[in-house]
Structure 1
Amino acid sequence: MIHYLFKRLLGLLPTLLIVAVLVFSFVHLLPGDPARLAAGPEAGPETVELVRQDLGLDLPLPQQFLRFFSHALQGDFGTSIRSKRPVATEIAERFAPTFWLTVAAMGWSVLLGLVLGMVSAVWRNRWPDRLGMTLAVSGISFPSFALGMLLMQLFSVQLGWLPTVGADSWRHYILPSLTLGAGVAAVMARFTRSSFIDILKEDYVRTARAKGLGELTVVVKHGLRNALIPVVTMMGLQFGFLLGGSIVVEVVFNWPGMGRLLVDAVEMRDYPVIQTLVLLFSLEFILINLAVDLLYALINPTIRFK
């Protein structure tokens, strides 16, 4: 296991290097001049050129990339063009709201998705299954921005129960987490149902039932552990998607997180912030996938990595 973990960690640098090259190339293809945006609309050509030199944008692209990547390896991600603050400081201030929003959305959506999926599998092709899968299809089909605006209109504007913007208390997390986690709950329900249907057909499940064990014991004790391996894989992927894909929800609720920061950075062509955020999202995906692989051994001790 330690050897497997070491090999996976060594693979981080080549992956991040490839991602960094792709992101750097994409960012510099965006229309607009960041030096002009930073200097202001009334600045003259001389001022714009001075700003360009100050930002290092006058250097050849290969030299700009090497400088960014070498500094990033040392923990220096540069200075934001928009705020003139260190990029690491900008992201550190926005990381916690996005992380806790993702955890809240993941918590309720995984729990609900597992329950709906298990119930649908046990009562397959009956009314609990039809109701659960109808809810799942609705969750997948309904756009997150439309769901967010609908929840705000109902619970904030009409009923006045919940706040719409900010991240100051647990009440601020309710509507954004519901909006963000709806699609995940739907995917988890459908995936859990499919996994459980296959597990419930296995011989050891029939043997457990033949021994006279209750249905709840058979499903939870004998079915859940074996059905969790593909479900955990999906959970890891969905958690990564939530961390990196909360942009729409954060814009709708004006959430002070990394998604909102990325939107502002793209509008201002803030190259250092864009590059660092995308690299961070890629690193999160890699680490989450690694954590999921390591969880396999805890769920099923017979699994060995070679």
Structure 2
Amino acid sequence: MIRRIPTAIGTQLGPSIQLAGAALLVAVVAATTLALLTARRKRWIRGLSSGLELIGVSIPTFWAAILLLTVFSFQLGWFPAVGDDSGSSLVLPVIAVAIPITTMLTQMTRESLELTLEEPFVLTARSRGMSDLGVRLRHALRHALVPAVTLLGWVIGLMVGSMVAVEQIFSRQGIGQLTLTAVTGKDLPVVMGVVLVTALLYVVVNILIDLLYLVIDPRLRSAA
């Protein structure tokens, strides 16, 4: 019985990593883009963005998944309702998982970017004739990303919980589905195995995040 646990977890780990990786990539790209577009803009633009972020972070992941499934699968028929046998079947689960992550990262990145845009080195870059977009991309964004990267460590833990509901709603294979089945069947060895694997992945991700600091902010290399 014990020997089947690594096989069971290994089989289900791939789909979960695929879902989590795609959702994280979508969230980071979307949050960075939205932060660049809304930081230090007109008040109504920032207000609209803040309102949407509040809605996005307040919506439970399972409710967002059911809403996406109802609209884009049952009503419009654009994406399959269940399964994980094609790329199109990954779209709705990725969006459901990415929504709360995107809203939190957008808020954090925008606030950090607005503070960075007031720094003296930004004013120096503007005085040299650099465009606003160039200043944001080449100078301000790198510094503004540090707090958002810090938030990613906590976000990974949030994703583990949300994937349980998403995998169940969309009938996808994965660690969340395996965990729910094991808990329902009172299969304690599998539950413990999933907890250990999840904890290991969490530690690895946070180590990678610490290394990412050195890439984003070169000043930390000399300090290290």
Query: Could you tell me the TM-score, scaled by structure 2's length?
Result: 0.94
The aligned counterpart of 2:37 is 119
Q: Is the 8 A contact 1:244 1:281 kept in 2?
A: no
- Of 258, 278, 286, the match for 2:203: 286
Q: Unaligned stretches of 5+ in structure 2?
A: none
Match of 1:134, SS state, is helix
2:41 maps to 1:106: no
Aligned equivalents of 2:30, 2:45: Cα separation in 1 = 14
The aligned counterpart of 2:82 is 165
Q: Is the 8 A contact 1:236 1:288 kept in 2?
A: yes
1:257-276 correspondence to structure 2 within 5 Å: 257-276=174-193
The aligned counterpart of 2:117 is 200
Q: Is the 8 A contact 1:237 1:289 kept in 2?
A: no
One-letter code aligned to 2:154: L
Q: Is the 8 A contact 1:105 1:180 kept in 2?
A: yes
Aligned equivalents of 2:79, 2:26: Cα separation in 1 = 18
Q: How big is the shift at 1:148?
A: 1.0
Aligned equivalents of 2:218, 2:139: Cα separation in 1 = 15
Match of 1:122, SS state, is coil
Aligned equivalents of 1:117, 1:137: Cα separation in 2 = 15
The more displaced of 242-251 and 225-234 is 242-251
Q: Is the 8 A contact 1:237 1:288 kept in 2?
A: no
Aligned equivalents of 2:182, 2:45: Cα separation in 1 = 46
The aligned counterpart of 1:254 is 171
Match of 2:219, SS state, is coil
Aligned equivalents of 1:302, 1:155: Cα separation in 2 = 46
One-letter code aligned to 1:144: T
One-letter code aligned to 1:159: L
Aligned equivalents of 1:257, 1:171: Cα separation in 2 = 17
Query: Could you tell me the TM-score, scaled by structure 1's length?
Result: 0.69
4+ long deviations beyond 4 Å: none
Q: Is the 8 A contact 2:62 2:162 kept in 1?
A: no
Aligned equivalents of 2:60, 2:149: Cα separation in 1 = 25
Aligned equivalents of 1:217, 1:184: Cα separation in 2 = 26
Q: Is the 8 A contact 2:179 2:190 kept in 1?
A: yes
- Of 94, 119, 132, the match for 2:12: 94
The more displaced of 96-105 and 242-251 is 242-251
Q: How big is the shift at 1:197?
A: 1.2
One-letter code aligned to 1:215: D
Q: Unaligned stretches of 5+ in structure 1?
A: 1-54, 56-77, 80-85
The more displaced of 176-185 and 149-158 is 149-158
1:181-260 correspondence to structure 2 within 5 Å: 181-243=98-160, 245-260=162-177
Q: Is the 8 A contact 1:209 1:218 kept in 2?
A: yes
Aligned equivalents of 2:31, 2:175: Cα separation in 1 = 26
- Of 122, 128, 144, the match for 2:45: 128
Q: How many residues align?
A: 223
The structure with the larger Rg is 1
The C-alpha deviation readout for 1:199-223, integer Å capped at 9, x for no partner, is 1111111111122211011111010
One-letter code aligned to 1:157: F
One-letter code aligned to 1:97: P
Aligned equivalents of 1:261, 1:168: Cα separation in 2 = 18
1:53-92 correspondence to structure 2 within 5 Å: 78-79=2-3, 86-92=4-10
Match of 1:149, SS state, is helix
What CA RMSD, in Å, does the superposition of the two structures yield over aligned residues?
1.6
Q: Is the 8 A contact 2:39 2:113 kept in 1?
A: yes
- Of 56, 72, 78, the match for 1:155: 72
Aligned equivalents of 2:74, 2:212: Cα separation in 1 = 43
Greater helix proportion: 2
Aligned equivalents of 1:240, 1:142: Cα separation in 2 = 18
